[in-house]
């Protein structure tokens, strides 16, 4: 079997943890498997480098930031190769140039285009454990790029696809994917199996275990993922195309506090208004989440939408800038203390009453709903941020997820 | 003019020093020059990484050590690009892959074979200051290599040669090359001009400003070097093929404390004995310095030689191992508390009495000479290490170098 194992920064934060990961990899190798290891930068290394950069130049180019940050994973993989070697198993580290990992040219947020697997296959053939830098790639002009948030997960999945691996294991500091955040809902339960689509909804809704892009890629290439703990040998959660019939209708409850609501009121009721509004934001790479349009007074309309809290100030600034030009409106209103709470479950919407049951739970808990959005496998409500914990507990109990 | 500037680890040890170097480079650029900057790793970064490696695996492979260490210069160049950019001048950092810097395949001690200059020329043409990682290269299998001690100087000279640069400036924390170590001989004087050959002798004898390989390469490709301070604007020392006629016969006095003497006594007086002895050492990459052979008693001969102190234990161990086999001798004697003191000057040996004058100075100072070695431009004596300071002062005074 060829197994790709990905370990995050916490798992390689110091000497002891590096040796711990090395031992796990050697165990797998000694079972007769081929092992490819993907690593992030050690602990807070990326933050340390970013601080150094900011002190020297607060507006440093993304090209040079990527040049700087890619050293982080290179240190991890070199040290890991030494650690595995010290346990008597041959190992070799490879960076994005050596693999090579071809990406698009956008610095800080590149997408993987193609992975050359020849060198990896050769090193595996010579019985080595191969350790590869996550998060990084090279673009057409031979510059380093990085893959953005959750980039190392994406590297691992892409490698699993390119190498046609038998398994792709994402190691983290929790035991797997849970029915809700265990810090908020103490009786949350580990999910044994979950579909790609459910995982996608959970990731985008702030469950935070796997990044969306890695799950999307796993779905596209049919890579079966396992999310498990690097601290113990618990089975973890399997993410795949279809899961067993007996599973619960609702897989989990997720909350996302990193959200803000913008309401644009009194827009002209004409074709193209929504297009203009969201096109301005798209041009600045601002992702918009839930969108709600309602009819306003005097032949106008109101459009509300949510963006991540990091983008809200920029979004408002952009809209204000066009208020006198292409975007005529009466007012722009912002609410930052809001959060999204969602339930996710494959086939949920073909079952009547799921949404209603969620709303009932929230009503019983005295939580007011500000916006609602639904998809095939998800129901999301926007609520006041201070009610998130009690909302999650209420919904979790209602669907008997514990 | 195209100018290559090399700054060592001390010159880029922190934010302030990085910005200081950035300002110097920008100054040069604003005079209308093309500027290529070569950097070492920041301050003690290389040592920090080596310690991390040793803690994980005391016998880490050199391949992985190089993979680890090359991150050091990459951090320096990225931060420098940001610093220069913050001063309003476009800059770009490049590592050994991006240049590319082709080397031999020996890890930890590779030699530069070829530098592709296309990318550098393109970046210069687009009016950027180009910042390049010193010390590192890539070998035939696309692995990182490092150039060994003084590697960044070699990178700078090689780049100056490849780019046909008008000047190659090596920045250090002293004002240039001195007639003797100013810490030992307080009235030592900065040398304005010195030949490659003199510099080579001084470097190999422990003057320590420039590494031999960089001077050898500068001589080979006719690259004029300037050694100057990164802390002030003093003129520095020019290293070139020929210097003005008026210069002093003896350029400087150097000492090398990192030396030990090994005496192999009672060797058979037969052809091939010296070859066998030094071949054993060469196989283990141990460089031998002064060699002295004398006739021993009973038809045997004695061979004495010096090695660096780092190698002496290994050298003795190798010789002991072959003592019963190919290397029959009566005894092996080691003396570690010795040092070399040398005078260097082009054309010295065509002037009668230079060596004698040195020996006179040492006699007057009461310093006993253990071995003597001479070349066209150098006289070296081996003395007791405790006499080094007074020997240097005496010789420096004798030749009126102050």
Chain B CB contacts of A57 below 8 Å: 82-83, 85-86
Q: CA-CA distance, B392 to B75, in Å (whole number)?
A: 40
In a domain, residue A265? The reply is no
* Chain A residues in contact with B119 (beta carbon < 8 A): 142
Pick from A53, A85, A97: CB nearest B57: A85
> Which of A368 and B204 is assigned the larger pLDDT?
A368
Task: Search chain B and give the residue with CA nearest A14.
Answer: B52
Partner B contacted by A74 (CB < 8 A): yes
Q: What's the domain range around B12?
A: 2-172
In a domain, B35, yes or no: yes
Residue-wise pLDDT for B254-290, tens only, equals 998 989 999 998 888 777 788 888 888 888 888 888 8
A67–chain B Cβ distance below 8 A for any pair: yes
Domain membership flag for residue A250: no
Check if A19 contacts B (Cβ < 8 Å): yes
| Nearest chain A alpha carbon to B49 | A75
Q: Does A37 touch chain B (CB under 8 A)?
A: no
- Higher pLDDT pick, A94 / A354: A94
The CATH number assigned to the domain holding A99 equals: 3.40.1160.10
Tell me which chain B residues have a C-beta less than 8 angstroms from the C-beta of A82: 53, 56-57, 60-61, 64, 68
A61: which 2 tokens?
């180019």
Residue A296 has pLDDT above 80, yes or no: no
The answer to whether A141 touches A199, Cβ cutoff 8 Å, is: no
Contact A184, A255 (CB under 8 A): yes
Looking at residue B402, its pLDDT comes to 67
List chain A residues with CB under 8 Å of B146.
Answer: none
Q: Measuring CA to CA, which residue among A83, A75, A16, A79 is closest to residue A41?
A: A75
Instruction: Please answer whether residues B155 and B38 qualify as being in contact, where contact means their C-beta atoms are separated by less than 8 angstroms.
Output: yes
Is residue B246 domain-resident? no
Give the distance from CA B63 to its chain's centroid: 23
pLDDT band for position B244 (cuts 50, 70, 90): low
pLDDT for residue A328: 85
Q: Which residues on chain A are in Cβ contact (under 8 Å) with B120?
A: none
Per-residue pLDDT, B22: 98
- A positions 104-143 inside 8 Å of B (CB): 119, 142-143
Q: With cut-offs at 50, 70 and 90, classify the pLDDT of residue A245.
A: low
pLDDT in tens, A221-244: 999 999 999 888 889 999 988 776
The answer to whether residue B70 neighbours chain A at the CB level (below 8 Å) is: yes
For chain B, the domain total comes to 1
The predicted pLDDT at position B375 comes to 79
* Region of poorest pLDDT, from A124-133, A277-286, A288-297, B236-245: A288-297
Determine contact: B83 vs chain A, CB below 8 A. Answer: yes
pLDDT at residue A349 in the model? 67
Is residue B145 in some structural domain?
A: yes
In-domain check, residue B71: yes
- Confidence check: pLDDT of A275 > 70: yes
**For residue A402, what pLDDT band results from cuts at 50, 70 and 90?**
low
pLDDT of residue A44: 92
Top mean pLDDT of A40-49, A264-273, A287-296, A371-380 is at A40-49
Highest mean pLDDT among A378-382, B5-9, B185-189: B5-9
Q: What is the mean pLDDT of residues A105-120?
A: 93
pLDDT of residue A244: 64
Cα distance between residue B343 and residue B361, in whole Å: 12
Residue of B nearest to A76 (CA): B68
Give the mean pLDDT of B130-148.
96
Cβ contact, residue pair A92, B63, below 8 Å: yes
The answer to whether the CB of B6 falls within 8 A of the CB of B169 is yes
> Does B81 contact A64 at a Cβ distance shorter than 8 Å?
yes
Two structure tokens written together for B105: 């395949």
pLDDT-derived band at A392, boundaries 50, 70, 90: very high
pLDDT at A93 over 60: yes
> Is the pLDDT reported for residue B149 higher than 80?
no
A250 phi and psi angles, rounded to 5 deg: -105, 125
- Judged by a CB distance cut-off of 8 A, whether residue A59 touches chain B is yes
Whether B95 has its CB under 8 Å from any CB of chain A: the answer is: yes
Mean pLDDT of A351-360: 81
Q: How far is residue B4's CA from residue A329's CA, in Å, rounded to a whole number?
A: 58
The nearest alpha carbon in chain B to A53 belongs to B79
pLDDT band at A208 (very low <50, low <70, confident <90, very high): low
> pLDDT tens-digit profile of A187-204?
888 889 999 988 888 877
Taking an 8 Å cut-off on Cβ atoms, the answer to whether B60 and A70 are in contact is: no
Q: Smallest Cβ distance to B83: which of A57, A75, A142?
A: A57
Closest residue in B to A72 (Cα) is B71
pLDDT digits (tens, 9 = 90+) for A362-372: 999 999 888 88
Q: Tell me: the pLDDT tens digits for B345-402?
A: 876 766 667 888 888 899 899 998 888 887 778 888 899 999 999 999 999 998 877 6
Nearest chain A residue to B88, by CA: A57
pLDDT bucket at B184, cuts 50 / 70 / 90: confident
Flag whether residue B15 sits within 8 Å of chain A, measured between CB atoms: yes
Chain pair A-B, CB pairs under 8 angstroms: 108
The residue with greater pLDDT, A295 or A276, is A276
Sorting pLDDT into bands at 50, 70 and 90, what band is A154?
very high
Q: What percent of chain A shows pLDDT beyond 90?
A: 56
pLDDT tens digits, B20-62: 999 999 999 999 999 999 999 999 999 999 999 999 999 999 9
Does A59 fall in a domain?
A: yes
Q: Give B66 to chain A, closest Cα distance, Å.
A: 9
* Interface membership of A292 toward B (CB under 8 Å): no
pLDDT score for A271: 76
* pTM exceeds cut of 0.95: no
- Whether A116 is in a domain gets the answer yes
Give the mean pLDDT of B326-346: 89
């Amino acid at each position: 079997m060829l197994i790709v194992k990905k370990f995050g920064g916490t798992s390689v934060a110091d000497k002891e943890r590096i040796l711990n990961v090395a031992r796990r990899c050697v165990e797998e190798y000694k079972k007769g498997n081929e092992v490819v290891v993907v690593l992030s930068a050690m602990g807070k290394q990326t933050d340390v480098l970013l601080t150094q950069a900011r002190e020297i130049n607060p507006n440093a180019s993304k090209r040079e930031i990527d040049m700087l940050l890619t050293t982080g994973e290179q240190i991890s993989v070199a040290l890991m190769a030494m650690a595995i070697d010290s346990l008597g198993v041959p190992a070799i580290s490879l960076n994005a140039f050596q693999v090579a990992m071809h990406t698009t040219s956008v610095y800080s947020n590149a997408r993987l285009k193609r992975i050359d697997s020849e060198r990896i296959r050769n090193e595996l053939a010579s019985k080595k454990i191969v350790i590869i830098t996550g998060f990084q790639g090279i673009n057409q002009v031979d510059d380093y790029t990085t893959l953005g948030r959750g980039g190392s997960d994406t590297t691992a999945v892409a490698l699993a696809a390119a190498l046609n691996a038998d398994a792709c294991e994402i190691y983290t500091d929790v035991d797997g994917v849970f029915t809700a955040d265990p810090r908020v809902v103490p009786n949350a339960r580990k999910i044994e199996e979950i579909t790609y689509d459910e995982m996608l909804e959970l990731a985008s809704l702030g469950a935070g275990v796997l990044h969306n892009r890695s799950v999307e890629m796993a779905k596209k290439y049919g890579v079966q993922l396992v999310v498990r703990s690097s601290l113990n040998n618990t089975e973890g959660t399997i993410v795949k195309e279809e899961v067993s019939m007996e599973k619960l209708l609702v897989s989990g409850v997720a909350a996302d506090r990193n959200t803000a609501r913008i309401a644009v009121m009194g827009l002209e009721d004409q074709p193209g208004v929504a297009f203009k509004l969201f096109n301005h934001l798209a041009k600045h790479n601002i992702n918009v989440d839930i969108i709600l349009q309602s009819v306003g007074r005097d032949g106008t309309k109101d459009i509300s939408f949510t963006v991540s809290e990091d983008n809200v100030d920029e979004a408002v600034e952009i809209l204000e800038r066009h208020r006198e030009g292409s975007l005529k409106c009466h007012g722009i209103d912002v609410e930052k203390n809001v959060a999204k709470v969602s339930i996710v479950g494959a086939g949920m919407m073909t079952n009547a009453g799921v949404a209603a049951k969620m709303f009932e739970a929230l009503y019983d808990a005295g939580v007011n709903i500000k916006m609602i959005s639904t998809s095939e496998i998800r129901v999301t409500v926007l609520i006041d941020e201070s009610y998130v914990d009690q909302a999650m507990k209420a919904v979790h109990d209602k669907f008997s997820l514990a």
